[in-house]
A and B are shown apart, each in its own frame.
Chain A
Amino acid sequence: MSEASPLRFAGVDVGYDDGPVVRGADLLVGAGRVVGLVGPNGAGKSTLLRAVTGAAGILAGDVELCGDPVGSLTERQRARLVAVVPQSTAAPFAFPSFDFVEMGRHAHLPPLGGPGERDRRVVEYAMRRTDTWRLAAERVDTLSGGDLQRLVLAQALAQEPRVLLLDEPVSHLDLNHRLQILDLVRELADAGLAVLAVFHDLDLAARYSDELAVVHEGALGPAGPPRAVLTARNVSEVFGVRAVIGTDPVTGSATVTPVLRDEAVAPTRDQEVFVVGGAGHGARLLRSLALAGFRVSCGALELGDTDQAVAQAVRARHVTLPAFGSPDPAALSQTETLAASADIRVVSATPFGRGNIANLRAAVRAGDPLVLVGGMGPRRDFGDGEATALWREALDAGAVAVDDDDGALAEVARVLGGSADVPYR
C-alpha cells in the first residue's frame, strides 16, 4: 500500500460565501516536491491555499492532507500536518522572537499545558535552520521585513509539518532575502517536505519549483515541469504579454522576459540588415536596428539561443534550428536567400561553431556592403579555421572592420542613411 500523498486537491471548488473562485481544481503535491502556482492577481491562487487551512470554503470536491479530507480534521490535527507562511505578518506587540516561534508549537502541546524540553529543542532547530537563532531575544516588532519573514518560516517549521504552504512569501523582500528564503524552502523540500507555493515572479517560480500550475479564469491548469508550463503561448494567454522564454545561464531554469510592444518594432524603412549573431552577441545589434526602424533578418539560429529569442522578439526574419542542431539544406538555402536579399550585412563579435558558421559563410558570399565587428579576425573559431579564413576573405574583398557594436551601427547608418543610434542601457 502506498502512502497517501501529503496534499491532494480532487475536483475542488474553492471560494467564499458569494460563490466559487476556482472550480474543479485537481492537484497533487508529493513529498519532496515544490509545486508553484502562478497566475494573474486575483485569479484565486491564495484562495486555493486558504482552502487547505479552512480560511476559504471547499464548496465541492475534497482537499486531502495525508489522505484525510481537511474538513474532517480539527484545527489542531490540521496544524500538525500543514503550516503556512503568509505574504506578510502583522508583528504583534512586543514578543521575543523565541516566544513568537514557540507559538508554532501550539498544535503539539497539551491543551492546558506549556512547552517542554523537546518543544524548546524544536524551536531552536527551526530558528537555527532559518538563521534567526541570533535574534532569539530580540523583540519581534523591531525586526526588519526579511528577518520577520524568516521568523515566520521558523514558526511554521516549529509545527513540524508535512506540507508547507507559501503565499507569495518573498514578494515584498529584497533580492538577497528572497533567494535565501527560497533556497531554504528548496532544501526543506529536498529533505521531504511537500511545498505548495504561490509565486508572483515567474523566473523565481521556474527556478525553485519542480512543477508549475497556472491559475487562470477560475480554473487550475495541469501541473507540469516549469518549461512545459511557461511557454510563450501560455504567458501570452494568461498574462496578456508577449514574452520570450529563455534560459538562466547559471541555473539553467526557464526565464520569462516580456518583450517590446509590437508597434515599437514595426519597421519604418524598407532597407533590411542581415545580422550574423549567436549566443547573445547579435542581441544589441538586432534590437537597435529594429528600434531604429530597419527590417532585420538573421540566418539560422538554435532554439534556446539568446539571439534566437531576441530575433523572435524584434520580428527578425530567421530560420530556427533545433537546439544543438546543424542547418539542413533547406535552412542553408533560406539563410543564403536572407543574406543575399539584405541591403547590408553585419557580422557580430560572436564565436563561431557548427551552428552559425553557415551564417557567416552566407554573409561573406553575399558580398558588399559587409561590416565585421571585432577587428581583424573572429573572436573565437570553434570550426576548423573556416571562420578565420572567411573573415580574411571578406576583409580582402573590402569589408569594413569595426571595433564594436557602436561602430557597426554607425557604419550601417553611413551606408544606408539615417541613424541607428538607439540607447542601450
Chain B
Amino acid sequence: MPVRGPRSAVTLTVALGAALAVAVVAGVALGAVYVPPADVVAALGRSLGAGSGPGGLADALVVDIRLPRVLLAALVGACLAVAGALYQAVFRNPLADPYILGVSSGAGLGVVVVIALTAGATALRPGVVPLGAFLGAVGAVALVVRLATRRGRVDGVSLLLAGVAVSYTLAAVTSFIMVLARESMASVVFWMMGGLEGASWEYVVAVAPMLAIGATVSLLVSRQLNLVLLGDERASELGLPVERLKTLLLALASLVTAAAVSVSGLVGFVGLMTPHAVRLVAGPDHRRLLPASMLAGALTMVLADLVARTVLAPVEIPVGIVTAVLGGPFFVWLLVRGERPR
C-alpha cells in the first residue's frame, strides 16, 4: 500500500488554510446581525489602516466584537489540536486529549481558584488567570501520569481511567469552590461549559503568545516527536533523550491547554478529533501533522462557535456543547474501529 505522503499533506494544509480564511470571514459576517462579506473585508482593511471611507456601527461590530471572537475561536482550536497531537504522541495513545486526560479540568480548577482568590483585585486577573490555568494543567497531567504508571511504564488503559477519575474529581472541587465563592462566580458558570462569548482583544492578546510558543517549539521538535512513536527504549537507542523530551512536550501541551481553557473553559474533543482526522489524510509524520492539525483545529472551533452563536440566535449555546455533540460519537467511533490504547 503506497503512502499518502508529503504531497497530499501539502494539499491538505493549503486547503485547510483557505477554508479557515473563508470560515473567519463567514464567522464575522454571520450572527444576530448579518454583515455582508464585502463589508467585512472592507472593515478589516480599514481597521488595519489599509483603506479609507466611512466606518460606523458595522465596523464596531466587526472589529470590536465579532473579529476578536472569531480569532479567539481559531486560537483556542489550534491550541487544543496541538495539545491533542502532543498527548497522543507522548503517550502513544490514540485516545489521549487534554479533555479526556483531565488536563482541561486541572486548568479549569486553576482558573476558578485564581478568580476566587482575586475577588477583590480583578485588575490582576488577565495576568494571573493563565498562570493559574497552567499550574492546574501541569498538576493534573503529573497526577494522571503518576496514577497510570505501572512498573515504570505508563499503561494505556490506566491512563484513560486515571484521566477520567482526575477529571471528575477536579471538576467536583471546581464546583465546590464555585458554590463557596458564589458572588464572584456568576460569569464563570457559563464559561465552565465552554464558551467564547466573553471574547475580547485582551483575550486574543493573552492566548496568542502562548500558542506561538507551543506551536513553534513543538514544530522545532516535530522530527524528534516521530521517534517517540517508536517507544521509549527504541527512541533512546536511536539517540533521543526521551525523558527530557517528553517532559518538554508535556509542559508545552499543558501550556497550550491552559491558554485555551483560561479563555474558553472546558471545550472537549477538539484535541482528540482534529489530529485524527488530519492523520487519515496527511499521515503520521508530525512535521506535517502538527501544522495541518492546528489549522484543522482552528477551523473546527470557528465553525463550532458559529453554530453555537447562530443555531438558537439570539440565544447562544456554549461552544463546548457543540464540540461534545460532534466529539462524543467520534470517540465511540474510534473505539468501535479498534483504536486501542497501547
Which residues of A are interface residues toward B (Cβ below 8 A)? 50, 53-55, 74-76, 78-80, 83-84, 86, 89-90, 92-96, 99, 103-104, 106-107, 109, 112, 114, 137-139, 142, 155, 159
Most A-side CB within 10 Å, residue of B233, B237, B279, B284: B237
| Interface, chain B (partner A; CB < 8 A) | 1-5, 220-221, 223-224, 226-227, 229-231, 233-234, 236-242, 279, 283-285, 287, 342
Distance A42 CA – B296 CA, assembled complex (angstroms):
49
Taking a contact as CB atoms under 8 Å apart, the answer to whether B237 and A139 are in contact is: no
Q: Are B231 and A95 in contact (CB under 8 A)?
A: no
User: Are B239 and A76 touching (Cβ within 8 A)?
Assistant: yes
B3–A138 CB distance below 8 A: yes
Q: Name 17 extra pairs, CB < 8 A, besides A55-B236, A78-B239, A95-B226.
A: A53-B236, A75-B240, A79-B238, A80-B239, A86-B234, A86-B237, A93-B229, A93-B279, A93-B283, A94-B3, A94-B283, A95-B3, A106-B240, A137-B3, A138-B2, A142-B1, A159-B239
Bound together, the chains give a CA A155 to CA B237 distance in angstroms of 11
A92 to B234, CA, bound (A): 12
Residue of B nearest to A77 (CB): B239
- Bound-complex Cα distance A112 to B219 (A): 10
Q: Please, which residues of chain B bring their CB within 8 A of the CB of A138? A: 1-3
Bound CA–CA A104/B226 (angstroms): 12
Contact B5 A96 (CB under 8 A): yes
Closest chain B residue to A89, Cβ basis: B234
Report the minimal beta-carbon distance from A14 to chain B, rounded to whole angstroms.
15
Rounded to whole angstroms, the CA-CA distance of A92 and B342 in the bound complex is: 11
| B230 engages A103 (CB within 8 Å) | yes
Please give, as numbers and ranges, the residues of chain A lying within 8 Å of B239 by CB-CB distance: 75-76, 78-80, 106-107, 159
Partner of B238, one of A74, A90, A93, A107: A107
Give the CA-CA distance A155 to B233 in the complex, in Å.
Answer: 15
A139 to B231, CA, bound (A): 18
Residues of A near B234 (CB, < 8 A) are 86, 89
**Subset of 5 A-B contacts with CB under 8 Å:** A76-B239, A79-B238, A83-B237, A95-B3, A139-B3
C-alpha spacing A187/B36, complex, angstroms? 72
Chain A residues with CB under 8 A of B237: 53, 55, 79, 83-84, 86
Interface of B, helix, strand, loop or mixed by DSSP = loop
Closest 8 CB pairs of A and B: A79-B239, A107-B239, A93-B284, A96-B3, A92-B229, A84-B237, A76-B239, A75-B241
Chain A residues within 8 Å of B220, by CB: 112
Q: Is the CB of B227 within 8 A of A95?
A: no
Evaluate contact between B233 and A104: CB separation under 8 angstroms: no
A109 proximity list for chain B (CB < 8 A): 223
Determine the distance from Cα of A103 to Cα of B226 in the docked complex, in whole angstroms.
8
CA distance A93 to B282 in the complex (A): 12
Residues in A with CB closer than 8 Å to B5 are: 96, 137
> In the assembled complex, which residues on chain A have CB atoms less than 8 Å from the CB atom of B223?
106, 109, 114
CA distance A139 to B226 in the complex (A): 15
Residues of B within 8 A of A84 (CB): 237
Q: Which of B5, B229, B238, B239 has the most CB of A within 10 A?
A: B239
The residue among A76, A86, A95, A109 with the most chain B CB atoms within 10 A of its own CB is A95
Cα distance, A89 to B240, chains bound together (Å)? 17
Do residues A104 and B238 form an inter-chain contact, with CB atoms below 8 A? yes
How many angstroms between the C-alpha atoms of A177 and B339 in the bound complex?
A: 31
Q: How far is the CB of B186 from chain A (nearest CB, A)?
A: 46
Give the chain A neighbours of B4 by CB distance below 8 A. 94
Whether the pair B227, A106 counts as a contact (CB closer than 8 A) is yes
In the complex, the answer to whether A103 meets B284 with C-beta atoms within 8 Å is no
Q: Which chain A residue lies CB-closest to B284?
A: A93
CB pair A139–B1 under 8 Å, yes or no, is yes
A103 adjacent to B238 (CB under 8 Å): yes
B224→A106 contact, CB < 8 A: yes
Contacts of B231 in A (CB 8 A): 90
Give the chain B neighbours of A107 by CB distance below 8 A: 238-239
List of A residues within 8 angstroms of B238 by Cβ: 79, 103-104, 106-107, 155, 159
Residue numbers in A under 8 Å from B229 (CB-CB): 92-93
Chain B residues with CB under 8 Å of A95's CB are: 3, 226, 283-285
Which chain A residues lie closer than 8 Å to B287 at the CB level?
Answer: 114
Contact B236 A54 (CB under 8 A): yes
Chain B nearest CB, measured from A139 CB (Å): 5
Min CB distance, A164 to chain B, in Å? 11
Q: Which residues of A contact B236 (CB under 8 A)?
A: 53-55, 75
Shortest distance in angstroms between A198's beta carbon and chain B's nearest beta carbon?
Answer: 15
B256 to chain A, nearest CB (A): 20
Bound form: Cα–Cα A80–B231 in Å:
19
| Chain B residue with Cβ nearest A85 | B237
Tell me the nearest residue of chain B to A82, going by C-beta: B237
Min C-beta distance of A1 to chain B, whole Å = 28
* Contact across chains for A74 and B241 when beta carbons are under 8 A apart: yes
Which chain B residue lies CB-closest to A17? B152
Rounded to whole angstroms, the CA-CA distance of A53 and B236 in the bound complex is 8
Q: How far is the CA of A83 from the CA of B236 in the complex (A)?
A: 10
- Max count, chain B CB within 10 A of own CB: residue among A75, A95, A137: A75
Give the nearest-CB partner of A96 in chain B.
Answer: B3
Provided the pairs A106-B238, A114-B223 are in contact, do residues A92 and B230 lie with their beta carbons within 8 angstroms? yes
Determine the chain B residues whose CB is within 8 A of the CB of A50 once the complex forms. Answer: 233
Q: In the complex, A53→B240 CA distance in Å?
A: 11
A89 cross-chain contacts in B, Cβ below 8 A: 230, 234
- Closest chain A residue to B289, Cβ basis: A93
**A50 to B: closest C-beta gap in Å:** 8
Chain A residues near B1 (CB-CB < 8 A): 138-139, 142
Q: Enumerate chain A residues within 8 angstroms of B242, measured Cβ to Cβ.
A: 75
The smallest C-beta distance from B223 to any residue of chain A, in angstroms, reads 6
Residue of B nearest to A86 (CB): B234
CB of B323 to closest CB in A, whole Å = 25
Give Cα distance in the complex from A92 to B89, angstroms.
Answer: 11
> In the complex, what residues of A have CB within 8 A of residue B227's CB?
103, 106
Residues on A with C-beta less than 8 A from B233 are 50, 53, 55, 86
- Asked if A137 and B2 make an inter-chain contact with CB atoms under 8 angstroms apart, the answer reads yes
